Amino acid sequence: MSLYVMKFGGSSVGDIERMKRVAGRIADKQDEGHRCVVVVSAMGDTTDELIDQAKQLNGQPPAREMDMLMTTGEQISVALLSIALNGIGRSAVSYTGWQAGFRTDETHGRARINEIDPRRVLESLKREQIVIVAGFQGMTVDGEITTLGRGGSDTTAVALAAAIQADVCEIYTDVDGIYSTDPRIVKTARKLNEISYDEMLELANLGAAVLHPRAVEYAKRYQVKLVVRSSFNHNEGTVVKEEASMEQGVVVSGIAYDKNVARISILGVPDVPGVLAQVFGKLAEEGVDVDIIVQSGVQNEKADFSFTVALSELAHAKKVIEGLHSELPYREVTSEDNLVKVSIVGAGMVSHPGVAAQMFDVISKEGVSVKMVSTSEIKVSCVIESGNLQKIIQALHTAYNLDTEEQAFVGGPKDRR
């Protein structure tokens, strides 16, 4: 009997009818002779609704209390799914993250998993039960409830699959695999049969929402066989693995975008050793993640440099920089927030010169200037103004021979578009 971890996102369990459909899907998997551990997210928009309610009461709610609140969404899901399975004659048991053995650090809102003790999960499997585990949550050694950050249910599923040595970890969502780009923007996006861990990690970090980056990191580290597929049909999904074969004629595997981008420029900075370390060390100390960094030429012993941060971190990052002014006498700080980062990813890029030049050409033909560029062996990212995003993604998709004749599948039968 193979051991499967099956993860269902919020859209898959968004209402009672979808919950019933998921229960049937799990029962079918058990009927095929497999043991099942299921990880579930909160139903539909529950998490967003809880955040909204908290902010109506307090504009800056305490992080600890937010974790207490946010974990209730998943607890509702696991209990309802277990009830649904028992209702169709299956023996199922639900566990919170901490009951399932997830121990984390003490960072509320974005905790990291320190260890997993899956004894209760394994004991339930020995009793031939279907085990339903709440995603996104854990507990510190001191008994404090924590959450893993948005998208943390993916991380829960993959980490648990590694801990119990599952044969497969299946991520069920509202698309039937990993596509060459967002199928909501490009209807003729190409569904990939397989993709490497490295390519998927780049896409996830660059904005592709189908998998959480930390989940891909876990899968790569522990060699977890990862499959992304739809909870609304039985189509073959996409396998994420160590090495993926490159499709004939396809150098770029995927195109990702990130709208959560802002640029900060610090102008007239003294050109002396240690300035960059001072600025970015302070930002890191304050928990601000910096992405692309570009320094311009030096003039009159002064330099300008720019960097990108998450749009949600813009105000905080500017406050940190302004706090450095007394010890770092720069001339001015400016910022832009009408930006988007567009990226191409593909393992074949390393052996095909001219891929980046082609990207720049496509963007320029849409009348858009490239503000910043970042590259690696398997990706090129460009920060541009956000106005022409959809046209640029479609143009890039066509330029790199990714268009197909088929329409991408998104959502359930009533949501297909």
Asked if residue 237 belongs to a known ligand binding site, the reply is no
Give the distance, in angstroms, between the CA of residue 252 and the centroid of all CA atoms in the same chain: 20
Strands 290-299 and 302-310: antiparallel
Per the annotation, does 120 bind a ligand? Answer: no
Q: Give the closest residue to 171 by CA, choosing from 185, 183, 186, 153.
A: 153
Question: Any binding-site annotation on 188?
Answer: no
Point out which residues pair with 330 in neighbouring strands: none
Confirm or deny that 176 is annotated as ligand binding: no
With H, G, I as helix, E, B as strand and everything else as coil, classify residue 53: helix
Q: Is 10 annotated as a binding residue?
A: yes
3-state secondary structure of 90: coil
- Residue 179 annotated as lining a ligand binding site: yes
Number of Cβ within a 10 Å radius of residue 59: 7
Distance set, CA 208 to CA 196, 211, 243, 389 (Å): 15, 7, 20, 15
Residue 7 is assigned to a ligand binding site: yes
Is 222 marked as a binding-site residue? Answer: no
State the Cα–Cα distance between residues 264 and 262, nearest whole angstrom. Answer: 7
DSSP state letters, 187-253: TTPPBPSEEEHHHHHHHHHTT-TTS-HHHHHHHHHHT--EEEEESSS----EEEESS-PPPTT----
Q: Please check if 47 is assigned to a binding site.
A: yes
User: Which residues are within 8 A (CB) of 148 and not within 5 positions of it... i.e. 6 or more apart?
Assistant: 104, 110, 111, 112, 113, 136, 137, 138, 155, 156, 214
Which tokens belong to 114? 């320190």
Q: Please tell me whether 9 is known to bind a ligand.
A: yes
Measured at the CA of 286, the angle between CA 311 and CA 59, to 5 degrees, comes to: 60
Q: ∠168-20-30 over CA atoms, to 5°?
A: 35
Binding site for substrate, by residue number, is: 47, 74
Binding site for ATP, by residue number, is: 7-10, 173-174, 179, 184
Binding site, by residue number, is: 7-10, 47, 74, 173-174, 179, 184
